[in-house]
Amino acid sequence: MSDRKTMKVGSRKSQLALIQTNKVISKLKELHPDFKFEVVTMTTTGDRILDSALSKIGEKSLFTKELEVALVDKSVDFVVHSLKDLPTALPDGLAIGCVYKRDSPCDAVVMHPKNEGETLQVLTVGILSLFCSVIGTSSLRRCAQIRRRYPKLVIDDIRGNLNTRFRKLDSEGRYDAIILAEAGLHRMSWSERISEVLSPEDCMYAVSQGAMAVECRAGDLEIINMLNEIHDPDTAIRCIAERAFLKHLEGGCSVPVAVDTQITDNKLTMRGGVFSVDGREAVEESSHVIFSKASGGKLHNGNQLYASIVGCLDQDPAKFVAAEKLGTEIAETMVNKGADSILRAAKRKAEEEILEEHARKRARKEASPTLQQAVVS
């Protein structure tokens, strides 16, 4: 080890991002009491744009770009992210040094206080069915699957960080419920607001949902060795399969693509889904791989990446290779079953919406000077 004893850690400023960053730091501190960890916070494009649905902004790496620039120019040593916010292709020279043991990957329903303790099913029946219940989410994946499962519910965009969303839900009266990741809700200590956890049978989760990842420079072996101590092999293997799947479908953060994976000692099972945003069309596929007995002796050197994730240094690489292959094969089968045309249509629609959103913003900008003039005169 070199004499580098102070690690600079990049993080977004949101409460959730800081909770996640501090969780990783406290684990590393336990293992390295002699190290200092200094948090450097940054605002990302995704944090700045609060008035558009994520899928309507039209830029990749919304929540990561500024932090990655800081990694490349060495103003930080590593960055803690929600893995699901990390694109499947990272900038050259960067890698996911470790993934932390996954929390629940499922989606959860948070009700407006007037519906406390209810379920989505209840919102579709009884008196409430006279008025359509409105569910807040900006995720095309959640939207498509909820429309498919509960055609009577109406979906409406909701943006902003978790705190903003809760305020909108509780005080605006516009939404009957919102859908969020269960993991994020627990981390924020809002578990008691969860009315229902959606089973992956009803709503498959996003690629890597519930897993935290640490991004670092791919050649920084000192950091990679340290991160390896908190690298969770089972989480890594599942997320490699899921990310390889998404990568093969060329999906970004805002496509209606969903997964469900399970792992045991020797078997990885995966289900993947692609949906049209209206919920009418779906292509699903599942498969599994049985891991062969350890090939013996051959371990990682720290440079090998699987879907941008560094393999666990003390593990047989065969499992990582098999996971990547499984995700890619399921995606390939789904493309042959028509998943690509569903995705193309979803992307075309998203692009049209991006153009409309830009036009609306331009119009608003052009309108505002006149407004100011009017006020002055």
The one among 64, 139, 195, 308 contacting ligand DPM by CB under 6 A: 139
| 85 included as an active-site residue | yes
The least distance separating ligand DPM from the CB of residue 295, rounded to whole angstroms, comes to 32
Q: 149-188 mask for ligand DPM (x: CB under 6 A)?
A: -------------------------------xx-xx----
Positions 190 through 209 that interact with ligand DPM (CB under 6 A): 206, 209
- Give whole-number Cα distances, 249 to 151, 263, 323, 335, in Å: 26, 22, 16, 8
Tell me: does residue 11 bind ligand DPM (CB under 6 A).
no
Segment lying near ligand DPM (by CB under 6 A), choices 26-34, 133-141, 294-302, 347-355: 133-141
Does position 147 bind ligand DPM by CB under 6 A?
A: no
Nearer to ligand DPM, 136 or 302 (CB): 136
Of 3, 51, 77, 85, the catalytic one is 85
Q: Cβ of 299: how many Cβ atoms within 10 Å?
A: 13
- Assess 141 for contact with ligand DPM (CB under 6 A): yes
> For ligand DPM, which is the closer residue by CB, 95 or 239?
239
Note whether 217 and 223 are within 8 A (CB): yes
Among residues 21, 52, 82, 88, which is the contact residue for ligand DPM, using CB under 6 A? Answer: 82
Q: Tell me whether residue 181 or residue 270 sits nearer to ligand DPM (CB atom).
A: 181
Q: Which residues of 64-78 are buried (b: 16+ CB within 10 A; e: fewer)?
A: bbbbbebbeeeebbb
# residues near ligand DPM by CB under 6 A:
17
Residue 71: φ, ψ to 5°: -65, -45
Shortest separation between residue 235's beta carbon and ligand DPM, angstroms: 11
* Shortest spacing between CB 168 and ligand DPM, in angstroms: 12
262 has which bridge partners? Answer: 269
- In the chain, the DSSP E strands lie at 6-12, 36-42, 78-82, 94-99, 107-111, 134-136, 154-156, 177-181, 194-197, 212-217, 257-263, 267-275, 282-290, 305-306, 309-310
DSSP letters for 189-251: T-GGGEEEEPPTTTSPBPTTTT-EEEEEETT-HHHHHHHHTT--HHHHHHHHHHHHHHHHTT-
Q: Catalytic site residues?
A: 85
Which residues contact ligand DPM (rule: CB under 6 A)?
A: 54, 82, 84-85, 137-139, 141-142, 180-181, 183-184, 206, 209-210, 253
